[in-house]
Structure 1
Amino acid sequence: METLTPVVETDVLIVGAGPAGATAAALLSTYGIANVVLNKYAGVSNTPRAHITNQRGVEVLRDLGLEGEVTRNATPQHLMGEHVYATSLAGQELGRLRTWYTHPHFKAEHDLASPTSVCDLPQHVLEPILVNAAASRGSSVRFNTELLTFTQDDDGVTALVKDRLTGQEYGIRSKYLIGADGGNSTVAAQAGLPLVGKMGLGGSINVVFEADLTRFVEHRPGDMYWFVQPGVGHDGNGIGVLRMVRPWTKWVGVWGYDVNAGRPSLTEEDGVRIAHQLIGDDQVPVKVESISTWAVNDVYATDNMAGRVICVGDAVHRHSPMNGLGSNTSIQDSYNLCWKLAMVLRGEAAPALLDSYRDERLPVAKQIVQRAKRSDGLMPPIFMALRLPPASGAPELRDALDALLRPTAEGAERRQDFDAALRATIMCFNTHGVETNQHYTSGAIVPDGTPEQPAPRDEEIYHFASTRPGRHLPHVWLTKDQQRVSTFDLCGRGRFTLLTGVDGAAWREAAERVAERLGVPVRVRSIGRGCEFEDSYGDYRALSEVAEDGALLVRPDHMVAWRSATAADDPEAALSAALGQILGLTTKE
């Protein structure tokens, strides 16, 4: 890149205004860090795209003060869970699942894990919420502005960008650059981040359309309906999808295409045809809003940082929509990163703190990509159970469904196989542990020397509450002034929090002195009988794994950074050593 004098200077340049980039901007502005956001498009996403927002995703939005706006605009959990398998929406039902933790058993587990609930918040609704929050809090958001290239040195990054309306090129100088520019990331490519896996493994068509389908679905409300139909898909057999955007009048119809034949050229008539095929009734009025194509990917980065350039979101993990992990993981990438950037930029932490982003989030990226791939693998057994050969047509499907219903020994065997295959697909939706059980090991976590206890149940399926350093602070309900308060709301908002109990006065005094010495704010919350926050249900006592004179140090992203099971001989020294290690600081005299 030619030497140029930047005309814009900022602390952080964020490339991309999708879920990852917009979250990063909102967080940094909330933390008081100057940032510029580039979006090469004229506006935010104009299609629904990602839509599942899980508990950890909503928790970040809650910490940003945006949960109320999210709740007003999202479809709630109780309207998401009737997952229907059929030949079409109007056609023969083949079975149902209760998804997204709406089964009473999973609902209880879901409600115990967080003060928030999973919801359906389409990307074109989520992005304006985040971008508006970022802009109103100080971010400079530049639409129609494209990153061309960048160089970095010991002090920062110089980017060359282009105004796509005027054609003007100019420079932006920042201390750090966040690449949040999606699955074809310019930043990741120019930074040379290594990627593992394959792109373009399968092609899909999205048809966004309006149609009143209330009579087909209000008695079985769900966010997705899956249809076994002849067509492009698993071994040449198709799974068509109707995805709810707005109950029950706006939808996305999803159908496959052969990537080896090239991207199809589709007309509005094609969109209507696909919608009617999925609905199973060509008399339903359909108004097509847009048609687009997308590819199934299976890629994750083995490094997400290169000097002062750090990538988040789909730039470093790309996978199928199975399990709804994409935008949620992207949001959490930024949540992990931005408090660290803020503290480094304010001089409260050493730059080495940023290395923990690599150590903590790379395993998560690998896990979710592999989970989505395994979930994709749950589709072929459905066709195998129906005894359908590859590339079957309508006659073969009709014969297979007829055989499924026959009161014969062979029919019973087919029903048993089909029902087992259908039930197994619950793992395309209910992976609560994958969503909530992140366990970090890095320099920003101080182990307490206790052996890691194996989870009592499958950690991909079930939430596992623990205060072991590196785990997410468990949610329990406390009371203050007779009002319920979640442990989640005692922490976060860009600051460290020390939680202690009835006999924790020494920790409070220690925290005040350590905060002053290190120049790092530490709030203290006391929990227990007669404390600031009452443990009215006894749940905190049961889950905290520390005594009334012990303490938990919780990071701004709600991860437990350090704990002391009981009182320390020298609380100030213990807390100072822990916080200094996390932040890479030495005590200021």
Structure 2
Amino acid sequence: MADVETDVLIVGSGPAGGAAAMLLSTYGVPNIVVTKYSSLSDTPRAHITNQRTMEVLRDAGLEEQVVALATPQHLMGDTPFCSSLAGEELGRLHTWYNHPSRLADHALASPSSICDMPQHLMEPVLASAAIARGTAFRYQTEYLSLDQDADGVTATVRDRLRGDEYTIRAKYLIGADGGRSKVAEDIGLPMVGQMGVAGSINIVFEADLTEYTAYRPSTLYWVLQTGSDVGGIGMGLVRCVRPWHEWLIVWGYDINGEPPDLTEEYARRIAHHLIGDDTVPVTIKSSSAWTVNHLYAETYQSGRVFCMGDAVHRHPPSNGLGSNTSIQDAYNLAWKLRLVLAGVAAPSLLDSYSAERAPIGRQIVDRANRSIGETTRVFEALGLLSTDDPAQLRRNMDARKLPTPAAEKQRQALREAIEFKNYEFNTHGVELNQRYTSAAIVPDGTPMPENPRDDELYHHATTWPGAKLPHAWIGRDRHRMSTLDIGGQGRFTLVTGVGGEPWVAAVEGLPVTVVTIGPGADYEDIYGDWARLREVGDAGCVLVRPDNYVCFRSFDLPQDPSGTVRAALSQVLGRRA
């Protein structure tokens, strides 16, 4: 008999594990988190928190808490490319949707805004909420192995304080143990790609850089200097952790050679090198070496064991997709575990987790690594094959200032190269156009809608089954809320309009909440936006899962609405009649 028992055991306390624990406890599912570390993350690492993740946190009641701690959108995106912070600027790009036209797209897509929430601030929010809602956290507890059978999983762990080993019995286990996941290894998840594609270092430091940054507020400052094309993430980077005194540098090294000796002197020299002013006092907080990876799992599940986060998608920080995808993995799985454990859904529902999230993991791994390669266009525009010769680097930069046809061509190429980095910093479609295909989605016979604009750069709202529910502002009792606010909360929601009242009787006895939108209905379509976005008639319906994904829709009222919606819900829950 196991020493400890629970419904779900979570290995790892990072963004994926913390979010899974928080969501499971929100849904009332008993769970335990084990982490071999003595504390949560003490470095900023992941930081960009996109709209979809903020929607997840909104549904979980944590959005306001995160907004209060995060750097807001308007301070994130006046991003320069320069020779150093104090040196010459080559150009700027509006990033994180701060260009006026992209800001409009951003506001129309979601009730939530992107922000910069460093990991060492995000993890305590998730963990604190998880503990307050019922999660048992066990620090300094190292996962060693697992053994699963038809009824559950028995994990062996070691208490690193006492030194003894004991077992935890769970009905399901989640491996959220990072980029060198032992859980993923133990269950033999098939991996595609390569670890250690390039070498990189992080240097966390404190310095008052207001003079060089506050007039162009940004999360990222890209620096082209000697050595900036070696390893790393495409170019030297000075990242703002907290305006304008906490910073993190990303700098590369040749992964085929020895990693640098990360002394304080070395770190300070690199910091002054990128700042471009060695009179600025710099306090080094930490330095660490890491590798750029290009690896993803083809499936996320083996029996009763699931993996999420960096355990199954390992990639550089480009595009800011890491912690976002991890938290969204947890959002996809948590409600499914809850319904299966409650006996509402068949265990087969859990198969949809891997079917839905594994393609997303592959997409973001490829996108993040492609963004590194696209940085070379900046070097090419300046006529640089390498940055080994600082004098040549300076001459090539200066050449663009000449009144010659060649210089004019160079200036145009540089503008286009910087503009092309929209595919790293403004990929609204990558973040919000994630479409699911699985047994937990009931197709309606229509093809996946085509985006009239670039599918990576631009969000395309649709109620196509497998897409995220579109955001529209609706009203009730002089209050405004999002369509996303009437969904979520661990429940299925059926949205209909005037003439759709028969759907209310149709779902009687089912775990579904019905909401009507229209004149005299539960909510008013105050701007007419929902009518434009819903893609069904007034008496039709859109059935939304607990993760605010559309799983079924009917364009109009069928002859047998009860039989229709019951058949759809039965398919989603894996309980076909």
Pair 1:408 & 2:398 matched: no
2:236 alignment counterpart: 240
Q: Deviations over 1:212-235 (max 9, x none)?
A: 111111111000100100015358
Name the CA distance, whole Å, in 2 between partners of 1:447 and 1:237.
40
- Secondary structure in structure 1 of the residue aligned to 2:374: coil
- Secondary structure in structure 1 of the residue aligned to 2:162: coil
310 and 494 in structure 1: CA distance in 2 versus 1, 3 angstrom threshold: same
2:560 to 549, 570, 581: 570
2:518 alignment counterpart: 528
1:90 to 86, 91, 94: 86
Moved more, 521-530 or 226-235: 226-235
Name the CA distance, whole Å, in 2 between partners of 1:361 and 1:266.
37
Shift of 1:236: 10
Which structure 2 residues correspond to residues 271-420 of structure 1 after superposition, within 5 A? 271-420=267-416
- Secondary structure in structure 2 of the residue aligned to 1:13: strand
2:194 counterpart letter in structure 1: K
Name the CA distance, whole Å, in 1 between partners of 2:356 and 2:172.
19
Does the CA-based 8 Å contact 2:76-2:219 persist in structure 1? yes
- Secondary structure in structure 1 of the residue aligned to 2:256: helix
Name the CA distance, whole Å, in 1 between partners of 2:570 and 2:258.
55
2:2 to 2, 6, 17: 6
Q: Deviations over 1:466-488 (max 9, x none)?
A: 00111110000001111111001
- Secondary structure in structure 2 of the residue aligned to 1:405: coil
1:191 counterpart letter in structure 2: I
2:258 to 262, 273, 295: 262
Which structure 2 residues correspond to residues 91-170 of structure 1 after superposition, within 5 A? 91-170=87-166
Moved more, 521-530 or 110-119: 521-530
Pair 1:250 & 2:246 matched: yes
1:554 alignment counterpart: 544
Does the CA-based 8 Å contact 1:234-1:379 persist in structure 2? no
238 and 230 in structure 1: CA distance in 2 versus 1, 3 angstrom threshold: farther
Q: Deviations over 1:451-507 (max 9, x none)?
A: 333221121111001001111100000011111110010000111001111212110
2:43 alignment counterpart: 47
Name the CA distance, whole Å, in 1 between partners of 2:576 and 2:101.
49
1:9 counterpart letter in structure 2: E
1:228 alignment counterpart: 224
Does the CA-based 8 Å contact 1:230-1:238 persist in structure 2? no
Pair 1:455 & 2:451 matched: yes
Does the CA-based 8 Å contact 2:300-2:308 persist in structure 1? yes
Percent identity over the alignment is: 57
Shift of 1:322: 0.8
2:336 counterpart letter in structure 1: K
Name the CA distance, whole Å, in 2 between partners of 1:238 and 1:29.
40
1:374 counterpart letter in structure 2: R
1:174 counterpart letter in structure 2: A
Does the CA-based 8 Å contact 1:237-1:383 persist in structure 2? no
2:27 counterpart letter in structure 1: Y
1:143 counterpart letter in structure 2: Y
Name the CA distance, whole Å, in 2 between partners of 1:207 and 1:451.
48
1:537 to 527, 537, 545: 527
Shift of 1:19: 0.5
Does the CA-based 8 Å contact 2:232-2:250 persist in structure 1? no
- Secondary structure in structure 1 of the residue aligned to 2:526: coil
Q: Deviations over 1:224-273 (max 9, x none)?
A: 10010001535899721110010111000111111112332211111211
Pair 1:202 & 2:192 matched: no
Does the CA-based 8 Å contact 1:54-1:328 persist in structure 2? yes
Shift of 1:548: 1.4
1:483 alignment counterpart: 479
Does the CA-based 8 Å contact 1:228-1:238 persist in structure 2? no
235 and 272 in structure 1: CA distance in 2 versus 1, 3 angstrom threshold: closer
2:572 alignment counterpart: 582
Shift of 1:355: 0.6
- Secondary structure in structure 1 of the residue aligned to 2:469: coil
Does the CA-based 8 Å contact 1:492-1:558 persist in structure 2? yes
Name the CA distance, whole Å, in 2 between partners of 1:65 and 1:393.
53
Does the CA-based 8 Å contact 1:312-1:333 persist in structure 2? yes
Name the CA distance, whole Å, in 1 between partners of 2:373 and 2:233.
14
2:33 alignment counterpart: 37
Q: Deviations over 1:65-111 (max 9, x none)?
A: 00010000000000001000100000001100000000011100111
Name the CA distance, whole Å, in 1 between partners of 2:148 and 2:216.
55
Does the CA-based 8 Å contact 2:200-2:289 persist in structure 1? yes
Name the CA distance, whole Å, in 1 between partners of 2:234 and 2:36.
35
| Structure 2, unpaired ranges of 5+ | none
| Number of residue-to-residue matches in the alignment | 577
1:288 counterpart letter in structure 2: I
2:499 alignment counterpart: 503
RMSD: 1.3
1:518 alignment counterpart: none
Shift of 1:416: 1.8
4+ runs of 1 displaced by more than 3 Å?
234-238
1:108 counterpart letter in structure 2: A
TM-score by length of 1: 0.96
TM-score by length of 2: 0.98
Does the CA-based 8 Å contact 1:381-1:421 persist in structure 2? yes
1:78 alignment counterpart: 74
Name the CA distance, whole Å, in 2 between partners of 1:420 and 1:537.
38
1:39 counterpart letter in structure 2: T
